Structure 1
Amino acid sequence: MCLPGEEGTTQRLSWQCCRNPDRCRWFFGAIKRTDAEKQLVYSENQTGAFLIRESESQKGDFALSVLDEGIVKHYRIRSLDEGGFFLTQRRIFSTLNEFVSHYTKTRDGLCVQLGKPCLKVQVPAPFDLSYKTVDQWEIDRNSIQLLKRLGSGQFGEVWEGLWNNTTPVAVKTLKPGSMDPNDFLREAQIMKNLRHPKLIQLYAVCTLEDPIYIITELMRHGSLQEYLQNDAGTKIHLTQQVDMAAQVASGMAYLESQNYIHRDLAARNVLVGEHNIYKVADFGLARVFKVDNEDIYESKHEVKLPVKWTAPEAIRANKFSIKSDVWSFGILLYEIITYGKIPYSGMTGAQVIQLLGQNYRLPQPPNCPQEFYSIMLECWNGEPKERPTFEALHWKLEDYYETVFSYSEANNFIR
């Protein structure tokens, strides 16, 4: 038998596939979307390389992952109860073999014509400093070489660095006397408890002398805000924008599951790495949100809030929850779709607060699909409990083209 999993799955793929395993080289079974991307990007695959996998979000369905000029794009393959597979109901195939055969001969609406099946390779986990410091966070600062300043602010700087002359890292420094070191290190304490592929990974700290260092993985392309502004629509289109949003939602869904709130979710606090990887960063304001059996964190200290990203209930009463993060995520979606424009442009914070009190919402940006704007509006529901969970937002964005558009409509945006 050439395929793992349930007997029914094998039968649905067709008897031909099982009699000739070479024809099933494109089937990768129940691998995750992120693993599919690693297989397609990290191996020696060319544009058109593809694989078919079992859908993560829809039991019984399959997904097509295909490499297009270095970017992996995903399509849901739907199935009929009476048998058959399709991307669009105008063309139904009795087996996945027929499906593959058709799209290797013609693009027929796909981003590219299917080429060779993805090579099955063992993708090694990238080495990082966390393997060396997981049980001992404090390291010798002499092992860190600062190479290039990436940015600076009121409280310190961020540098690109090298650990032990081998591992690229990012180093956040605290300017002596600029703030309480305990407040600075609170971010590191939170990051020690958080491990997820879509959250910035803490590697180590240097706290024994000034300046204090927080050492994390390096994301070479900087903040999502700058990344979007620098592109301004040249290479980034809706397909990539939806993928950015889905990756951020995945990281936030993990925070949601761990009972954390971020409190400062914005494009400036999402970092961009190689191979279209996006990760949530800057946990300086993050807090555990389970307090007295309620999902609310009430700030006891005066905190300067980024008003244009903050939910109305957090502005009014200083009460934060994962649902206030969902509101901020809606603003982040606005930033993504407008290539990093500042929300409520030309308005002061006081004006924004007044307008929100009158149920004002940011208007639909030009070139923003109605379906994408609808997700933003869901995040901006005036009643926090009515806003979606990050888990729901993650899957909605993962399946954006398959659930929101018909197949032909989706391809108007896949370029």
Structure 2
Amino acid sequence: MSETTVPIAITGGSYNEYINWIEEAIDKKHIRYYEYENFNNIEEIGSGKFGIVYRATWKNSHNYLALKSFFNLNNITIKEIVNELKLQREVDFHENIIHFFGLTRENQNDNSKKYWLVMEYANNGTLQEYLEKYFNTLTWNDKFNMALQLAHAVLCLHDEGIMHRDLHSRNVLVNQNTIKLADLGLSKRIDEANNSRLEFGLRETPVPGTPNTYLDLYTECWNGEPDNRPNINQIVAKLKELKYNLTNDDFRAFELYQHAANLGDSEAQYNLASMYENGEVNETYINKHTLYQV
């Protein structure tokens, strides 16, 4: 980043120093400040470990923004806010990372100075919510697209020397069916972070019908030895390859069978069950898939 866009450095780590960093960044217009009274239609849309998220419109605009508040603005929380602001500005250009717009305060007369983040609003909620609602109607092409978008967002972080450290489906948002990686507060410089370990050795249960090639990829990402896991560049390359292969007849046949089975076709349901069991589409299915173009 250039010197004209980087707020002042923090020489220590106390609460007051973090607050001073924020206020000086606002004064120097490195960070935009939004007057809280200009927000309208404020509505709670979610909550998490650190606070509540609202959506609101700004002045006369009909477009929503997200307002991220915090339960307890102590030294730990304010440190994470400042960390998120710093890292957000380095990757804010990327279309698959949630955009940061500025800061506001609910009560201008509150000496505790409880700042809220003003962020891009994601109209489809978290990835977890989105998949719970739409998983069965999404095609594998849709799913590979979303996986590739998320991988591109992580690649952007790594290119900037940033490790997310809290990547899960509730910290990934979906806006107009586009992936938006969020919550960079716990992120850390890669050279400061150690290799992560899977908590308690738990693994995800594979979803029935997942293409074997995709199953192989994310199983490799669980390898108990971090050095044996694919890096993000390899993951992006593999996802691009898988997405390209979706034009092949086997994937097309699978999706056509799946669509016909959902409409109640008994033969398609039988063949689809066989595909789930085998994890692949054989030549007979490929030759017959045109029967189910509905």
Residues 195-226 of structure 1, C-alpha deviations (whole Å, 9 max, x = no match)? 21110010001257544210111110100101
Q: As a proportion of its length, which structure holds more helix?
A: 2
Give secondary structure in 1 for the equivalent of 2:68: strand
Distance 1:380 1:200 in 2: 26
Structure 2 partner of 1:263: 165
| Correspondent of 2:100 among 202, 222, 239 | 202
Determine whether 1:278 maps to 2:179: yes
C-alpha displacement of 1:162 = 1.5
Q: Report the residue type matching 1:152 in the other structure.
A: S
Call closer, same or farther: CA 1:171–1:239 in 2, change over 3 Å. same
Structure 2 partner of 1:314: 196
C-alpha displacement of 1:152 = 2.2
C-alpha displacement of 1:386 = 2.5
Determine whether 1:160 maps to 2:19: no
Determine whether 1:395 maps to 2:277: no
Q: Report the residue type matching 1:245 in the other structure.
A: A
What is the 5 A alignment of 1:12-161?
Answer: 135-161=30-56
Structure 2 partner of 1:170: 66
- TM-score by length of structure 1 reads 0.48
Answer yes or no: is the 8 Å Cα contact 1:144–1:162 preserved in 2: yes
Distance 1:366 1:157 in 2: 35
C-alpha displacement of 1:361 = 4.7
- TM-score by length of structure 2 reads 0.67
C-alpha displacement of 1:407 = 1.2
Answer yes or no: is the 8 Å Cα contact 2:90–2:160 preserved in 1: no
Gaps of 5+ in 2: 1-27, 257-294
C-alpha displacement of 1:387 = 1.8
Q: Report the residue type matching 1:280 in the other structure.
A: L
What is the 5 A alignment of 1:153-302?
Answer: 153-166=48-61, 167-176=63-72, 180-195=77-92, 196-206=94-104, 209=110, 210-233=113-136, 235-274=137-176, 276-291=177-192, 297-298=193-194
Distance 1:143 1:385 in 2: 50
Answer yes or no: is the 8 Å Cα contact 1:192–1:202 preserved in 2: yes
C-alpha displacement of 1:181 = 2.7
Considering only aligned residues, what root-mean-square deviation do their CA atoms show, in Å?
Answer: 2.6
Q: Report the residue type matching 2:53 in the other structure.
A: V
Distance 2:156 2:104 in 1: 27
User: Identity of counterpart residues, as a percentage?
Assistant: 25
Distance 2:73 2:249 in 1: 59
Q: Report the residue type matching 2:160 in the other structure.
A: Q
C-alpha displacement of 1:249 = 0.3
Q: Report the residue type matching 2:188 in the other structure.
A: R
Call closer, same or farther: CA 1:288–1:137 in 2, change over 3 Å. farther
Gaps of 5+ in 1: 1-132, 292-296, 299-312, 316-326, 328-351
Structure 1 partner of 2:292: none
C-alpha displacement of 1:392 = 2.3
Distance 1:164 1:376 in 2: 45
Distance 1:248 1:409 in 2: 25
Give secondary structure in 1 for the equivalent of 2:170: helix
Distance 2:173 2:167 in 1: 12
Give secondary structure in 1 for the equivalent of 2:224: coil
C-alpha displacement of 1:165 = 2.4
Distance 2:51 2:172 in 1: 19
Answer yes or no: is the 8 Å Cα contact 2:158–2:190 preserved in 1: no
Distance 2:165 2:43 in 1: 29
Answer yes or no: is the 8 Å Cα contact 2:100–2:119 preserved in 1: yes
Call closer, same or farther: CA 1:245–1:232 in 2, change over 3 Å. closer
Distance 1:265 1:180 in 2: 19
Distance 1:200 1:134 in 2: 21
C-alpha displacement of 1:287 = 1.1
Determine whether 1:409 maps to 2:291: no
